Amino acid sequence: MKKKIIYLFIPLLFSCSEAYKVYEVTGVVLEIDENEKSILVDHDSISGFMMPMVMPFKIKNKTILKNVTKYDSISFDFIITERTSYAENFKKLGESSLKFEEDEFWEEDEYQQKEIGQKLSEVNFIDTKGDSTSLNQFRDNYIFISFIFTRCPVPNMCPAIVIKNGVLARKFKDYSKLKFIMVSFDYIYDTPLVLDSFYGSIIQEFPNWMVWSSVKNISDLYTLTSEVGSSYWGIEENNIGHNLRSVLIGPGRKLLKVWKGDEWLAGEVGKELNNYVKFIK
């Protein structure tokens, strides 16, 4: 019975009965990363799927962007499957008259970012029951933190992070000194009630897995994300953009490890975590 539980909630996260969908997207190019095969786009609302956001789209090869440059206005097809997503069929609509200051979107506040081994600041959030909680509450534990928001519908982004956290929470379920915490950076929409409706039934059997809301703790959210190199923006404008980070914090709030992006594998991360916690329960 236990082996089935992790699979039961996967359809709830994807909530998609079809294996393949195509959405037409329009927006403005902010960055092109050929090495990572991705393009950062400030896109309009995607009808029937997603609110306006600033987000990276994966591409299969860089040649499909040969006529696209930074700040171009473009349209393209966004392909969604149950396991991944990518963009193709790019069309240049024109050159945008709107120019952005460098780093306007990727404000990582390097001066605040902590180095590995340094102590993170104490921060406070709210759990799904509406109770106040904090990093210091788990100062004697190892804490694996990922940042998410419930309105992200792309299967290989936030929903995938949730699934990976679930795999890890199950693997280390008997380790009381290792906690898995998902923090929502959507401080307007993701109230404790909303988070509980999304994840409450999933995490209830895991004493080591929890979800925190930032609705009343915006400054603490800013502090935590800045110190671990995570960024978010556009919450109040309903045009959310963000990068993704998962981090391991050790006893005394010491920063031990940072995983960038959403492509880390639960199996590999599990092996790394085991090296830290194999002598504790």
> pTM, whole model, 2 decimals?
0.76
What residue ranges in 34-82 does DSSP mark as E strands? Answer: 38-43, 53-58, 72-81
Q: How many structural domains comprise the chain?
A: 2
Does one domain contain both 251 and 182?
A: yes
- 81 and 129 in a single domain? The answer is no
pLDDT of amino acid 99: 55
Domain assignment of residue 168, given as a range:
124-277
Question: What is the Cα–Cα distance from 103 to 32, expressed in whole angstroms?
Answer: 14
pLDDT per residue as tens digits for the range 219-276:
999 999 999 999 888 888 788 888 889 999 999 999 999 998 888 999 999 999 999 9
For residue 157, the model assigns a pLDDT of: 81
Mean pLDDT of the residues in the chain:
86
Does residue 215 lie within any of the structural domains?
yes
> What mean pLDDT comes out for the span 192-208?
95
Residue 271 tokens read as 């092996």
The CA distance from 181 to 183, in Å, is: 6
Whole-number Å distance between alpha carbons of 140 and 267: 25
pLDDT at 278: 83
Residues 266 and 142 in one domain: yes
Reported as a pLDDT band with limits 50, 70 and 90, residue 100 is: low
- What per-residue confidence (pLDDT) applies to 106? 47
pLDDT tops 80 at residue 107 = no
pLDDT at 54 over 90: no
Q: Could you give the C-alpha distances from 63 to 9, 28, 38, 50, 58, in angstroms and in order?
A: 38, 19, 12, 27, 13
